[in-house]
Chain A
Amino acid sequence: MSKSETSSVEDAIKRILGDHVSTLQAVSPRYIFLELKPENFKYDLKRLIDELGIWHISTISGVDLKDSIELIYHLWCDRYSVGIFIRVKLPRDDPKIESISDILPGAVLYEREVYDLLGVRFLGHPALERLLLPEDWPDGVYPLRKDVSLEEARKFMLGKRAKRNAGS
């Protein structure tokens, strides 16, 4: 993969998205980070997927930045052999974004994971339910948020088991 090929993907992304893409940065010859606004997110993503022939999503990383929640959609573009990592920042008090599971069905479990662990609502998701946490985990507590301490997470993780052990 030569430098000119990475820049040709960058050019293609700029041509497709125009001024909708705010930052575009190649961190290595095969990885590109870019940022999109939540308002046009799904429309922009769909155009990118259609025009670059993307079919693979590796996962969605959710990061609590303390002033906002950042999602990174890790896509892989076969045509250019380039990883395209799309950043989108959501307000921390009510994080929500349109679900992409209809255009990339492979994302359906990753969206549930982010919903479960960081409390981001994906609008239009077919079954936005808990994926990993136990059933007795309290509502509204999202373990990967920075204000949930490790001790708290551990306490909720043990849940009824801890109470049962204490009682016996």
Chain B
Amino acid sequence: MPVVEIPVGPQHPALKEPIRFIFQLDGEIVVGAEPRLGYAHRGIEKLAEHRTYVQALYLSERICGICSVAHTTCYVETAERVFNVEAPPRAKYIRVIVSELNRIHSHLLWLGILAHEVGFDTLFMYTWRDREMVLDLLEMITGNRVLYAINMIGGVRHDITPEMADKARKVMDYLEERTKYYKRVVEEDPVFNNRLAEVGILSPSDARRLCAVGPTIRGSGVKTDIRRDDPYSAYDEVPFNVITYDEGDALAKTLVRIDEILESINMIRYALDHMPGGEISVRVPMRPPPGEAVGRVEAPRGELFYYIKSDGTMRPYRFKVRTPTLANIPALCRMLEGIFVADIPVVVASIDPCIACMDRVLLIDKSRGKKWVWTKEELRRYSLKWYEEHGRR
């Protein structure tokens, strides 16, 4: 049978951003995958060079809606190094709390999407309902549900009052119980086991060689986490475990994220109990001295990287961003090799892409010169049907 090429993407539905893949297929097996990126390229790096440092902060928050706190935390940590200022200790703890809340909501959102991809829509509804509790907490603390605008160069904009802390503790108790239940569902339910175990395996050596980041590399047993290796904010004072699973399949990546929710819950409890008092921000001059700085943050999807160069003016001379999903694309292409077409949605979802989308699928059968278009929803239905017919592999 000749190798058939299938372009997948790039139009995007509400949840995921656009990316296109060209899959080379030998029958049902994917033998190669080639990504085409850039559909969401907005030229933010160039734009930031024409904005002041304060304006660029708000620009950075808009790079990603889901991990927006990770972006502003990375921005302010990097900018503070350029400005030679340090946020007060209480502000650093508030950054940790908001970042971990952000991680919980991001992981719950992802778990729901994964459940949807494998046809388990009840779990999708459950996790998204619980995610609302986190969004309510974030709204209570920051005033916003999605773009929180809490970080500023030199501190944070809102304090956490004792009443807020009490409310947060109650929600943490509820979420802990729910997350443990979801973990049991993922471990025991045959649907998850059938669709996730031994699918899209990334070996530890490939994960290192291709420089994967975040839960993707930790699901392959490589113990690396920016919060531990290169701590920022107050992460050097808040104890936590770096979660790893050795199997490297989609199930391992799922369990890494569920365990990380449990770790985040404990970190938030610890940070609420041990928050030092005092100011939450310091005054910062309009212009930084000439210089440069690097910042790295563990976003929900992995290492987020910023580089800022200053020439002493009010605007950054160079503003460079590398998001975790770009770092995981080479590893994703490796994971896609050798899998069934029906597993594509699950494997693409397993890196928690902040871009991936397969809204529309164009199928070309070279031998017959035939073309037809699939939406992502049709690809999902195809994969569910395929598993109904073929059962467990």
Contact = CB atoms under 8 A, between A and B. Distances in A.
A63 B318 contact: yes
B326 interface: yes
A78 B45 CA distance: 29
Given A85-B294, A133-B41, A144 B46 contact: yes
A132 B45 CA distance: 12
Nearest to A150: B50
Interface in A97-152: 104-110, 113, 117, 130-134, 143-144, 148, 150
Given A133-B38, A133-B41, A150-B46, A74 B305 contact: yes
B327 interface: yes
Contacts of A113: 326
A136 to B, nearest CB: 12
B231 to A, nearest CB: 9
B16 interface: no
Contact of B230 (A64, A81, A133): A81
Given A30-B230, A83-B230, A85-B294, A63 B309 contact: yes
Interface in B311-343: 317-318, 320, 322, 326-327, 329-330
Interface residues of B, number: 32
Contacts of B43: 143, 153-154, 157
A62 B318 CA distance: 9
A107 B211 CA distance: 8
Contacts of A104: 211
Contact of B46 (A59, A134, A153): A153
Interface stretch (A9-17, A36-44, A50-58): A50-58
B38 A134 contact: yes
Interface size, A (range) = 35 or more
Contacts of A134: 38
Contacts of A81: 229-230
Contact of A74 (B37, B210, B307): B307
B224 interface: yes
A8 interface: no
Contact of B211 (A27, A57, A132): A57
A23 interface: no
A160 to B, nearest CB: 15
A83 B232 CA distance: 14
B218 interface: no
A56 B230 contact: no
Contacts of A132: 37-38, 41
B296 interface: yes
Contacts, number: 82
Contacts of A59: 305, 307, 320, 322, 327
A72 interface: yes
Interface string B202-220: 0000001111100000000
A107 B326 CA distance: 11
B193 to A, nearest CB: 31
Contacts of A30: 230
Given A57-B211, A105-B211, A109-B326, 18 more contacts: A61-B320, A63-B317, A64-B318, A74-B307, A76-B229, A81-B229, A105-B210, A106-B330, A109-B330, A110-B322, A130-B38, A131-B37, A131-B38, A144-B45, A144-B46, A150-B47, A150-B50, A153-B46
Please name the 5 residue pairs, one residue from A and one from B, whose CB atoms are nearest each other, closest first: A106-B211, A59-B322, A132-B38, A132-B41, A61-B320
Interface of A: 27-28, 30-31, 55-59, 61, 63-64, 72, 74, 76, 78, 81, 83, 85, 104-110, 113, 117, 130-134, 143-144, 148, 150, 153-154, 157
Interface of B: 37-38, 41, 43, 45-47, 50, 81, 208-212, 224, 229-230, 293-294, 296, 303, 305, 307, 309, 317-318, 320, 322, 326-327, 329-330
26 contacts: A55-B208, A55-B209, A55-B211, A58-B303, A58-B327, A59-B305, A59-B320, A59-B322, A63-B317, A72-B307, A74-B294, A74-B307, A81-B229, A83-B294, A105-B211, A105-B330, A106-B209, A106-B210, A109-B326, A113-B326, A130-B38, A131-B37, A132-B38, A134-B38, A143-B46, A150-B47
